[in-house]
Each structure stands twice: as C-alpha cells, then as structure tokens.
Structure 1
Amino acid sequence: METIKKNKGFGNWIRTSITARMLMIGFLILVLLIPLIYIKELIRERSERQQDVVFEVGNLWGTEVLLMGPILKVPYKTYSESTKIDSETKKSIVERKTHMNYAYFLPNNLIIDANVDAIKKERGIYETSVFSSEMVFKGNFDIPDFGQKDILPEDVVWEKASIIIKSSNLKGIKNQIEMQLGDSKISFLPRYRQQQNQSYGPNYVSMHELESPFLSEGALPKLGPIGFNTAITINGSSKIRFVPVGKNTELHMSSNWKDPSFTGNFLPEEDAEKSVTEDGFVANWKVLQINRQFEQSFFNILPDLKEFSFGTELLVPVDEYQKSERSAKYGYLVIALTFLVFFLIQTISKINIHSFQYLMIGIALLMFYTLLISISEHQNFLKAYVIASAAVVGLITLYSKSILKHRKFILLIFGSLTALYSFIFVIIQLESYALLVGSIGLFAILAMVMYASRKIDWNQS
C-alpha cells in the first residue's frame, strides 16, 4: 500500500509540479533537436545537388571565362661559359653554351568590347546562367625594351616571335581566332603547356594557351608601335573575367542579364550600378598600370596573373536553399518559444497538457522546414514560406482547439505563431540589420514573457 501511495504521489507531482513540466519540456526540446539536425543536413544536400547541376551544365555549355592577352612573346639568347681541363694536354678549355629564353611584353593599350548574351539553362528543378559573348580586342604593342636586361640586339631572335592568348575555356570558343597585327593577319592554335607548382584549391582556374605562328617582318614592333585587332566568340557560364594586361586597359561590357555581380580586383566606374535595369546592364572599367601590381614585361617566365582579374558574375537569383538554411537555424527558437507559450497557458489556466501533445506540436513545427524546402524548389521563397507557415500555424491552431478549449487561448496560439513566423521571415530577408532586428525582437519577446509570468506561483515545485 505504501508503494502504491508513493507511485501515486510521484505521478501527481509529474502532473502538477511546475518544475516537472519544465524538465519534461526541456527534454522534449532536446529530443526534437535530433530531427532538426537531419533537416539541416537535408537542406545542405539539396544545395550541393544544385551546385553539382550548375557544374554539369557549365561543363557541357562552357565553364567560366577568364582571358589574358594578347601578349608578345620574343625569344632571345643568353650565354654561359664553363672551364674544363684537358686530361692529355692539361690545358684549360673554355666552353661557351647558348641558351634560348623568352621575353613577354604586354600591350601598351588594350580596349575590350564585350557583349554578353545570357540565358537560363534548366535541368530538372534546378537552373543556372550560361552566356554567349562576342568580344573585340583592340590595342597596340610598343617597341620591346631589351636594354633593361642588357640583352644585345643581335641576341634577339625576332624571326621566332609570336603572340599568345591565355583562356580558361578553350571548349567554349566558337570561332577561329584571327588577329590583324600591323599589315599581317595571324591565326591561333592551342599549345600544350604542363602545369607546374599550381595550387589546386576550390577556386583554382586552369589557364590554357593559344599561340600564333612565328610573326612576319611586317607584324613586328621593331621600328614603332604595332596595332592589333581581333574578335572572339565564346560560350561560358557563371563568370566572365579579364586580366588587365594593357598599360592602359579599358573594358566595356553590356548584357541582357539583370542580376550582375561585379567581381575581381577592380570595380567598374561609379555609374555602373545605375545602369543595371530589368533589360540588362552596361558597365565600364578603366585600369591603369599604376593601379595593378605588375610591370609591362617579363623575362624567362610569364607569371600567373589571375589574381588581378576583374569582370562580372551572372547571378541566378535562386537563394532558396540559403534562406531555408537560415530559417532552420532559428528552429531551436521556434520550438522553444512555442512550447513556452503552451507552458504559460498550462500554468496560468491549470489546463493539463500531456507530454505526447507537446511532442505532436513539436513534430508539426519541424514539418514546416520540410514543407519549406520542398515547396521552394518549385515556387519562389515568399510563396513557399507563406504556404508552409500557414499550413503549420493552421494545424497547430486546430490541434490546440481540442487541448485548450477556451477561445482566447486558441487565438493566443494563432497570434503568437503568426507573429513568430513573420518575425523569422523579416530576419532572414535582412542582411545588414539582421542582428539588430533580431536582438530587438528577442528583447520584446523576453519582456512579454516576463510580463505574462509575473503572477505565476513558482513555489509549486
């Protein structure tokens, strides 16, 4: 009999004690965090799948475009001497060896006109941006200065000079590249160059080389500057960038894409943002030699200059996964605050709410995120958020009708959940003011909880 009384006493304590309810609610919140972690993992996997599709489409159509050139390549001779002792005569013999090296000279002026015709490509429920760009390169080469390295004129091998262009995307080039150089017309062919000492990180871009045949006498800047003019049509995806190899580099870019992101080491002129409209954008860059950190000529080795590139990324305004992930980060707050509202109602009104009912409410709150991610893959984020939140708020409100009975408590649940999901939506839309708005909102919620709980007798332990 004493054991039965003790069991009844313990059960009564579980049902009536505020401390027991708080412990039970805390335990349920910890349990619900486990599926919430799996939901975050689901969002991450779907986001990675989208990136895989973007990569696949880019490989088929053409990867991002990064161009560097044209660059004048001129071989020159250097000499080395070594002394050997003849084993028979014991006399010293001086041997002189000739070595072939290369000098690289960048253009004096470089003007690029790029017209980027962008479209969306879809694969299943995912989409990415691809483009076809028609570009015209104009400029001139100055007389190469070999005197800075004390190279004699007779050691310059002019008859084997050439022009090179480097590109990250040979697959996407759609025309035979020909250049008018002085009085001569030259064409370009790919040249294999083994990549050495490269850092193959996540942002690594491999550069491939196009080289012209040896230049004729009329195409060499030996007596004065030589002008050049060439056109390139290329398919690409995501980004289009250029290395400012000209002593004075100008880029004029126009496109029908309405969501550009100007990236790289240099930004366009100040009026670029104003020229972005629903019909596309127009942007202009001007980069002087003093603005960059490399000279106009290199001897022996042409360094990797990709870090100085600039251009445009064609953004696809599909950030549903990022917003869904940000929403899921507030899952702890949503579950805790919802349980808190039910706990306050239960404590103030003496209505008994079973732990199973708390669990059902928690699972309904988790269903919001699966609904959000699945609907947002077919609709825009605003519609997905409204549908998912309305479904969950409606479900919990109807469920609470059978628990709370009183109309004022049901309306309180409906109003609290509506306000909470509206508050979360506002926060995830903000960037610069997300922390400020979130802090103010949490302070207001704390104030309301403190006000609502002021008459609770916390001695009912």
Structure 2
Amino acid sequence: MFKHPLFTKVAALAIVTLLLLIGLGLIADVVRDRQRYRAEAARGVAQSLAGPQTLLGPLLHSACVETWEAASGKGAERRVEEQRREFRLTAMPARLQMQTAALMQERARGLHKVNAFTLKAQVTAQWASLAALVPQATVKGSRLQCGAPILMLAVADARGIRLARAQVSGQSQELALKPGTFHPVFTRGLHAMLPEGLRGQAEPLEVSVDLELLGTEQLSIVPLGDATDVQMQSAWPHPSFAGRFLPAERDLQADGFTARWRLSSLATTAQQDVAQGRRLCLADAQGYAMDDGAEVAAPSSVEGGRGGCTDAFSVAFVDPVNPYSLSDRATKYGVLFIALTFVAVGLFELMGRGPQATRLRVHPVQYLLVGAALCSFFLLLVSLSEHLAFGLSYAVAASACVLLLGYYAIHMLGSVRRGLPFGAGIAVLYGLLYVLLQLEQTALAVGSIALFLVLGAVMVLTRKVDWYGTGHASAASPEAA
C-alpha cells in the first residue's frame, strides 16, 4: 500500500506541511518577541517619564491618638499603665467636580511608540461640614490629641506632577503644597496643612486645585465624593473607557472625544474602599487588573494596601492599529492559508489534464516552495509594519507574495491560463484576511461563511472525480513535474 504513488504523495505532503507549521511557529515567536520588546519600551518610557496615572482626592485626614490610664495587677503588684490607641479621621468631599483636558504626546523608545499625556485638571471639592474630623473618645476619661487637618491629593506616580496650586474658597492666599500625603496607604502625591480651627466647623468648606499631571497610556479617577462629576476632553480620537463605570455621556469624533461621568456614592464603594485602605489598581480596557501593563491573575496595585481594589473608572489612550496584535492575529490564519493553497494546487493537479490524459503533476518540493512563500508574507508584514502604516505594510507584503506566487504558478502549472487564476485566488485570500483583521465582532462569522463557501466550491468541482481511479492513473502515468 505504501508503494502506491498516491500514498507516497500524501506522505510527502504531510512532511511538507509539518515543516511549514514549524516555520509558522517560529514566525509567531518572532511576533511575540516584538510584542515583548514593545511592552519593554512602554515600561522604559514610564520609568523615565511617568507611568499610568490614578487620581484620588482631594480628601481631608488627621492622625489622632487616644491615651488613658489602666490599672493592672493586684495588691502590692498593682500598677497603673498608660494605654494608647492610634487612629485616623478622614473627611470625604460631599461634591467632587473635575474639568480635565488630556493633551497627547507621542514618545518613542527605538522603533516603538508610546502614548503619553499631559492632564490639565481643575478640581473643586466641597465639604458640607468637617464634623468627621472631630475625634470621639472610646474610653471614659481618656485624652485625645490630633494633628492638624491635612488636605491631600494622591496620584499613582508623583514624578508626573508638573504643576499644582490649591486654594481655600474665600481666602486670597494659596495653600502651601508639599510633596507626600502623610497617609499610610496612599503615600504618593501632595498635601497642605490646614488650620486647626477648621476642625469640626459646621460651615461648608470648598477647595479648588489646579493640577498638571504627566502619565502614559492610561488615566484612572477614583469617584470619592458623595456626588462626583468629571468632564474630560482630549484630541485623541480612540479612547478606551474601562474600570468600574462607563461615562454617562460621551461624544467621539475624528478630532477627539468628550466624556462625562456623574456618579453618586450610592453606586460606588470608593469612599469605603479608601477608608479601609484598599489599593489603587490599574485596569485594561477589558477590565482585568494590570500591573505596569501586564495582565495578572489577581488585582494589582500601584499603592500598597489591604486586599481588593478601590472603585475607579479609567480612560486608556490606545492605538487603534497595533501592528503586533494584528500581525499575531494574521499569523493564526497561516495554517488555513497553507491548507487552502494546497487544496487549490491539488485541484489544478487533479483536473489539469486533457482528453489524452497527459497528466499535470506537482512535486512536493514545489508545494514546499509555495508554502514557504506564504509563510514569508507574515514575516514581511511584521517587519514592514514597524516602519510603515499597517495598511501600507499589508499591501506591500501581499502584493509581493501574489506576484511571486502568480509568476511561479505559471511555470508550476504549465500555462498562463492556470497560473493567472491561481494568483488571483491568492490575492482574494489576502483580501479576505485583511477584512477579517479589520473586523472584531463579526470576524468569526465572516471567516466561517468564507470557509464554508470554499469547501462547497471544492465539493462541487470534484463531485465527478473517480478517487479510486485517480491513484491508478497516477501509477500508470510516466509524466513527472
């Protein structure tokens, strides 16, 4: 049975296919390596400039100590010891309003580009009263002592702070801002000491902050107020809204976007999360917890704290055409490309004979060369897309491969009449692949329908083939390719 020419041909094609699959695997490794280099470039820019930013605050807090005397022991061993309890009082704003504008800046590390932004924010925080900063004794007769109230604004990466001004409503002087927050969990940011006389006042307090903050790729905001209203506008036309809340209003245009979030503390646990010291986490566009851009199994933090993440919403300034992700998707179609091309060559070989049965035969080496040309397309695509726009890179790589395969098919199949349709079929395959890469929601449906149509065409063309007679005819034919 294994001496039969048909089985010998099938075995040879199986070896050819295995070699091509190994080649595709190596190309896929190259694409993944380039993706890692791109991620390393983004981390390098973040380390030199500032990373993804999370904005928390403003809020008021004050460190307090309660001391009391407690007796221990009996009789002559009875003694009085001082006991103490350290705690922190926090006052969340009743209303938090932000007017923000994100100005985009493109940074590069080698061949790889990273989207950086400068956030210009006008933040207004209002407290109905500061009763939350009045300490309450837990032991009768204890003594309470608290530090001055501190106004703080926390960020994920303090290196990004370029400008900050803060002012209490009704006062002419600006607050003296200093680095750090004096908060045990959210340590990065800025703070200002407030007068002790503000503690416990019944009158409302309003603070306005002007902030200029640099970051890369993503901005998150914690909805800390009883009522939070955040408006954002940017010239970046491709935002990705993520986190726990989507904007209530958004307008996406070719020249940028505007978005507005309106949230109530009834809908978010941000205040409780901050009070409990939960972490500031980064999230990608799909909502997965991220740490410096790398997906992790559990929520990750940019500030240490207790388990779980603080409620937040975010905007990622993503590149709509990531050449590495598109190249990776294209490479996954490589096996289908090779299979369909081999089927096409097999059909020409099967049906390419005249009435006198001068049979067309294609050698396995020719199959290997055709498959190698198909594989080279994916390597050309990823290499060119590092220097050119992805669409242009795809057109150049596909055109080169179509011309090469069309020219080779004319000689492999023995005539222009067969070679040109073969080249046209390859061009259609590349066109279909490009359409699939541009689609997201309907890619599976379009791909499945196209594959079904190809299978139907093969079945119709071979419906009268005598497959048993094909092997005998091959054995009797003296022709070689």
TM-score, length of structure 2 as denominator length: 0.82
Change (3 A) 1:385 1:296: closer
Change (3 A) 1:98 1:154: closer
Q: Distance in 1 between matches of 2:9 and 2:399?
A: 29
Structure 1 SS opposite 2:321: coil
Q: Which of 1 and 2 has higher RCO (CA within 8 Å, sep 6+)?
A: 1
Q: Is the 8 A contact 1:74 1:156 kept in 2?
A: no
Residues 239-271 of structure 1 deviation map (CA, whole Å, 9 limit, x = unaligned): 12211111111111111222211222111123x
Q: Is the 8 A contact 1:107 1:246 kept in 2?
A: yes
For structure 1, which runs of at least 5 residues remain unmatched after alignment? 1-8, 197-205
Structure 1 SS opposite 2:117: strand
Structure 1 SS opposite 2:160: coil
Q: Is the 8 A contact 1:74 1:160 kept in 2?
A: yes
Q: What residue number does 1:288 align with?
A: 264
Out of 309, 312, 317, the residue aligned to residue 320 of structure 2 is 317
Q: What residue number does 1:127 align with?
A: 113
Deviation at 1:330, TM superposition (A): 0.8
Q: Which has the larger displacement, 135-144 or 391-400? A: 135-144
Aligned residue runs from structure 1 range 168-207, under 5 A: 168-180=156-168, 183=171, 185-191=174-180
Q: Does 1:351 align with 2:360?
A: yes
Deviation at 1:154, TM superposition (A): 8.9
Q: What residue number does 1:6 align with?
A: none
Deviation at 1:20, TM superposition (A): 2.6
Out of 304, 325, 328, the residue aligned to residue 279 of structure 2 is 304
Deviation at 1:70, TM superposition (A): 1.4
Deviation at 1:195, TM superposition (A): 8.0
Residues 198-249 of structure 1 deviation map (CA, whole Å, 9 limit, x = unaligned): xxxxxxxx86143323x21454452322111111111111112211111111
Deviation at 1:385, TM superposition (A): 1.5
Q: What residue number does 2:214 align with?
A: 235
Structure 2 SS opposite 1:400: helix
Aligned residue runs from structure 1 range 50-69, under 5 A: 50-69=38-57
Output the amino acid matched with 1:144: A
Q: Distance in 2 between matches of 1:44 and 1:442?
A: 27
Higher helix share: 1
Q: Is the 8 A contact 2:154 2:181 kept in 1?
A: no
Aligned residue runs from structure 1 range 17-36, under 5 A: 17-36=5-24
Q: Is the 8 A contact 1:159 1:216 kept in 2?
A: no
Q: Distance in 1 between matches of 2:8 and 2:123?
A: 76
Aligned residue runs from structure 1 range 1-80, under 5 A: 17-79=5-67
Out of 131, 143, 152, the residue aligned to residue 144 of structure 1 is 131
Q: What residue number does 2:333 align with?
A: 330
What RMSD over aligned residues (CA atoms) do the two structures have, in Å? Answer: 2.8
Structure 2 SS opposite 1:232: strand
Q: Does 1:102 align with 2:81?
A: no
Out of 276, 287, 291, the residue aligned to residue 252 of structure 2 is 276
Change (3 A) 1:60 1:234: same
Deviation at 1:434, TM superposition (A): 1.1
Residues 57-78 of structure 1 deviation map (CA, whole Å, 9 limit, x = unaligned): 2322322221111111123343
Deviation at 1:426, TM superposition (A): 1.6
Q: What residue number does 2:423 align with?
A: 414
Output the amino acid matched with 1:351: L
Structure 2 SS opposite 1:186: coil
Q: What residue number does 1:208 align with?
A: 188
Residues 101-154 of structure 1 deviation map (CA, whole Å, 9 limit, x = unaligned): 211111111111112111222333321211212211112222224789666999
Structure 2 SS opposite 1:455: coil
Q: Does 1:373 align with 2:382?
A: yes
Q: Is the 8 A contact 1:181 1:219 kept in 2?
A: no
Q: Distance in 1 between matches of 2:31 and 2:200?
A: 58
For structure 2, which runs of at least 5 residues remain unmatched after alignment? 282-309, 353-358, 472-481
Structure 1 SS opposite 2:161: coil
Deviation at 1:187, TM superposition (A): 2.4
Deviation at 1:176, TM superposition (A): 4.7
Q: Does 1:115 align with 2:94?
A: no
Q: Distance in 2 between matches of 1:448 and 1:409?
A: 17
Q: What residue number does 1:457 align with?
A: 466
Q: Distance in 2 between matches of 1:145 and 1:193?
A: 18
Q: Is the 8 A contact 1:76 1:155 kept in 2?
A: no
Deviation at 1:80, TM superposition (A): 5.8
Aligned length: 433
Q: Is the 8 A contact 1:103 1:297 kept in 2?
A: no
Q: Distance in 2 between matches of 1:245 and 1:25?
A: 65
Deviation at 1:42, TM superposition (A): 0.4
